[in-house]
Amino acid sequence: MKYGYFDDTKREYVITQPDTPLPWLNYMGSQAYFGLISNTAGGYSFYRDARLRRLTRYRYNNAPLDMGGRYIYLRDDNKATFWSPSWQPTRNKLDHYTCRQGLGYTTISSTYAQIEASTRYFVPLDETLEIWELNLSNQRNETAALSIFSSIEFCLWDAQDDATNYQRNFNTGQVEIEAGIIYHKTEYRERRNHFAYFACSEALTGFDTQREAFLGPYRAWDNPQVVEQGQAGNSEAHGWSPIGSHHVKVKLEPGETRRIIFLLGYYENPPDQKFDPPNSQIINKQGVKPIITHYLNGDHVQTAFAALASYWDKLLAKFQVATPNEHTNRMVNLWNAYQCMVTFNLSRSASFFESGIGRGMGYRDSNQDLLGFVHKIPDRARERILDIAATQLESGGAYHQYQPLTKKGNDAIGSNFNDDPLWLVLSVTAYLKESGDGNILDEMVPYDNQAGSEQPLYEHLQRSMQYTLERLGPHGLPLIGRADWNDCLNLNAFSAQPGESFQTTTNKEGKVAESVFIAGLFVLAANEMAALARVRNLDAEVRHYQDVAKTMQSTIMEHGWDGSWFLRAYDDFSDKVGSKSCAEGQIFIEPQGMCIMAGIGLESGEAQQALQAVNEHLATPHGIVLHQPAYSKYYLHLGEISSYPPGYKENAGIFCHTNPWIMIAEALLGNGNMAHDYYLRINPSAREVIGDIHRSEPYVYPQMIAGRDAATFGEAKNSWLTGTAAWNYVAITHWILGIRPTYKGLQVAPVIPQEWPGFEASRIFRGVTYKISVKRGGPGNKVSLTVEGQAIEGNVIPLLDKSEVIVEAMLW
């Protein structure tokens, strides 16, 4: 069952019914101002930080779901009926409905009582505002007299405080209404120098800014009193719940169309120029007024929308493919690339599943997100790397999260997730291979943002590696700390108190429990460090990293190999986790993927054995589960992993983030069929046809698909903000299609399904466009490369001084 279709030419997913199984989201904004928007116009907006600078309120877990958003009401003033053209919140039965989810914009169109309404929502590039462009058209053969009411509910900036601190909040709300523009200025009188504004292109019949006046006492958003009666109350909010609503009346002749523009935006004044006149309490609007005037002009809106479209043209052009598989093409060329941008921007902070309050930017998450993004805008990746590294601690350790607004590490969560530091090595080396910008390694970057502690970025990488070496356990494997990649494998928590955070509770000293996964990650990172040192001609460093990699590798083979697969860990009693000898949780996906990606067991056969075991024990038609058997009860010594019911999340769910590691591992062993088969199992486009089982958006990856132990096997949750986006992108583009950046040039080493006759790709790398055509001449993965008509040795295209390079690759 499908709820829409892909419009590949328009680069949109078209949702054809409003009551999708879950709200199907999209994101707006690319740099500082962001909003999430559902297919029925639900969602919220924020400036940089979904917690600290929230503009509007949103109630996800409401009944009905997805309440609060960018709602417009239309009222037939002759018949005194009203409806929501985006379906929510009135949920009238619409005669026709579509929602087009596009790149940074959402267009919701509907017809009701022969009034066609189409609203396009987007954030112009480099602006801190969003535009709602409403086009109305009268399909009746008589004049329509309509009232239009806009509506949003302001958040009092700190979303956490907004949702809890009512004794204060009910008193602080303040607005100004001037020339038909609604300004939200709660706390502007004291320490804030920012405000929000909500403007409309038309002359107003009225407005409202107090929620109760608009809705009426004890009424909800589906039935506002003002809309019902057809007359705004001109209410001014003093405390309680400030909202923004414009009331506009229009008369539309038969066939007539009308465009109405609404702007919602964020603006900051210099702290010493907050008020106008200076000794008043009135917002200084001199800076913001020209911006508002500019975007209330329809021509400027069209220009801004065109600029957004060409921005995406440029970004997507960095990598385009034509393969025999449409789901591969669609995800690589468009949706997966797009999702990588969104995860890069927002990490795990704000989605339908993440309230935007708790997480900020994850350290390990952001480093991984960068892997799928770096080729798009290397300069932004560079800036991100420096931000992340500046939160690193002198010990080489890392805050698990940091706030995007302050860029400071989050003390509430703290540190000691022992895998965290190593991911920095992967992101930095990915950036270096993509950009060739070795200077970044000499950038002086502080520790924990402390002035005076600056050291070159390269030193940060060295400390990241050292951090692991200084924390080895009884078997010589890395100590796990609070958790490794699997946030829920909490081997030192021993938490028996309800409500205690598994992430921050540590009841054990942490000197025993070890992670084979971190060991694998360490080897991978050490290999990267050795390769980097080689490029920099640091011979002693090359030897050092080769040595530590080799030692760790033999430790893994000695203590981390369970006979047919890699062990997961040793717990606080030094007992095995992820071993045949365990009652439950006998085999885990993570160490298989990570150790093989690090090259362990590739030649000696263990890698193939481990993948065989993954296939036998973990692979399902809906993807590969985290472990088997699932934990049937809570184990104090294992932590949160066993807190989830079997088949969900970290307890044997299909945690999609890890699946690409197995795809990469299969590709490293030359198994193109298997790698691509796994790729398709979780590919959202390929799962579109089972929309009633999958339930989440068919255009983006979810974090998790319920595993085979779950009652709802195959059901996806936590869409959008997941490391799955970056890793799938890396798996398909770097390893299956095999086009990957190296220090010396672009490498072409496809490991594709045998039945593919080949594929075409266009990749922009260091400013050069490579037109690559791959043809299969035999069943294998050996590559012969011809560059500009000349056969070359090996499979790395040398860096040439040209704008376009033609490459032919023959597989045999």
CA distance 627 to 652: 5
Counting contacts by CB under 6 A, is residue 420 touching ligand GLC? no
Taking each helix axis from N to C end, the angle separating 378-389 and 457-469, rounded to the nearest 10 degrees, works out to 50
DSSP state of 754: T
Q: Which of 420, 484, 487, 562 is catalytic?
A: 487
Q: Which of residues 704-733 bind ligand GLC (CB under 6 A)?
A: 722-723
x/- map, 329-368, ligand GLC, by CB under 6 A: -------------------x-------------x-xx---
In the set 382, 622, 649, 708, which binds ligand GLC (CB under 6 A)?
649
Q: How far is the CB of 241 from ligand GLC (least distance, A)?
A: 30
Q: How far is the CB of 32 from ligand GLC (least distance, A)?
A: 23
- Residue (487 or 697) nearer to ligand GLC, CB: 487
Q: How far is the CB of 644 from ligand GLC (least distance, A)?
A: 7
Nearest residue to the partner ligand GLC, using Cβ: 487
CA distance 122 to 29: 7
Q: Is the peptide bond before 629 cis (omega within 30 degrees of 0)?
A: yes
Q: How far is the CB of 442 from ligand GLC (least distance, A)?
A: 30
DSSP state of 284: -
- Residue (348 or 694) nearer to ligand GLC, CB: 348
x/- map, 486-525, ligand GLC, by CB under 6 A: xxx--------------x----------------------
Please give the size of the binding site for ligand GLC, defined by CB under 6 A: 15
- Residue (348 or 734) nearer to ligand GLC, CB: 348
713-735: b (≥16 Cβ within 10 Å) or e: bbbbbbbbbbbbbbbbbbbbbbb
- CA distances to 343, 363, 385, 465, 564 from 359, rounded to whole Å, are 13, 10, 18, 25, 38
Counting contacts by CB under 6 A, is residue 577 touching ligand GLC? no
Q: How far is the CB of 339 from ligand GLC (least distance, A)?
A: 14
Place of tokens 């001014």: 236
In the set 130, 514, 562, 650, which binds ligand GLC (CB under 6 A)?
650
Q: How far is the CB of 514 from ligand GLC (least distance, A)?
A: 18
- Residue (246 or 649) nearer to ligand GLC, CB: 649
- Residue (412 or 791) nearer to ligand GLC, CB: 412
The question of whether 487 is a catalytic residue gets the answer yes
Of the chain, the end-to-end C-alpha distance in Å amounts to: 40
Other CB atoms within 10 Å distance of the CB of residue 696: 28
Distance of CA 669 to the CA centre of its chain: 30
CA dihedral sign of residues 56, 60, 62, 67: positive
- Residue (483 or 552) nearer to ligand GLC, CB: 483
Q: Virtual CA dihedral for 291, 293, 299, 301, nearest 10 degrees?
A: 50
Place of tokens 């058997």: 629
Q: Which distant-in-sequence residues (6+ apart) come within 8 Å of 452 by Cβ?
A: 446
CB 148 within 8 A of CB 130: no
In three-state secondary structure terms, 387 is: helix
- CA distances to 249, 413, 544, 703, 756 from 530, rounded to whole Å, are 69, 32, 8, 32, 36
Q: How far is the CB of 348 from ligand GLC (least distance, A)?
A: 5
Counting contacts by CB under 6 A, is residue 429 touching ligand GLC? no
Q: Which of residues 471-490 bind ligand GLC (CB under 6 A)?
A: 485-488
In the set 235, 703, 719, 728, which binds ligand GLC (CB under 6 A)?
703
| Pick from 581, 667, 661, 579: nearest CA to 627 | 579
Q: How far is the CB of 486 from ligand GLC (least distance, A)?
A: 5
Q: Which distant-in-sequence residues (6+ apart) come within 8 Å of 169 by Cβ?
A: 156, 161, 162
CA distance 246 to 252: 19
Q: How far is the CB of 661 from ligand GLC (least distance, A)?
A: 12
Distance of CA 275 to the CA centre of its chain: 38
Half-sphere CA count of 284, side-chain side, radius 13 A: 16
- Residue (53 or 348) nearer to ligand GLC, CB: 348
Q: What are phi and psi of 305, to 5 degrees?
A: -70, -40
- Residue (16 or 504) nearer to ligand GLC, CB: 504
Q: Report, as residue numbers or ranges, the catalytic residues.
A: 487
> Which positions lie near ligand GLC, rule CB under 6 A?
348, 362, 364-365, 485-488, 503, 640, 649-650, 703, 722-723
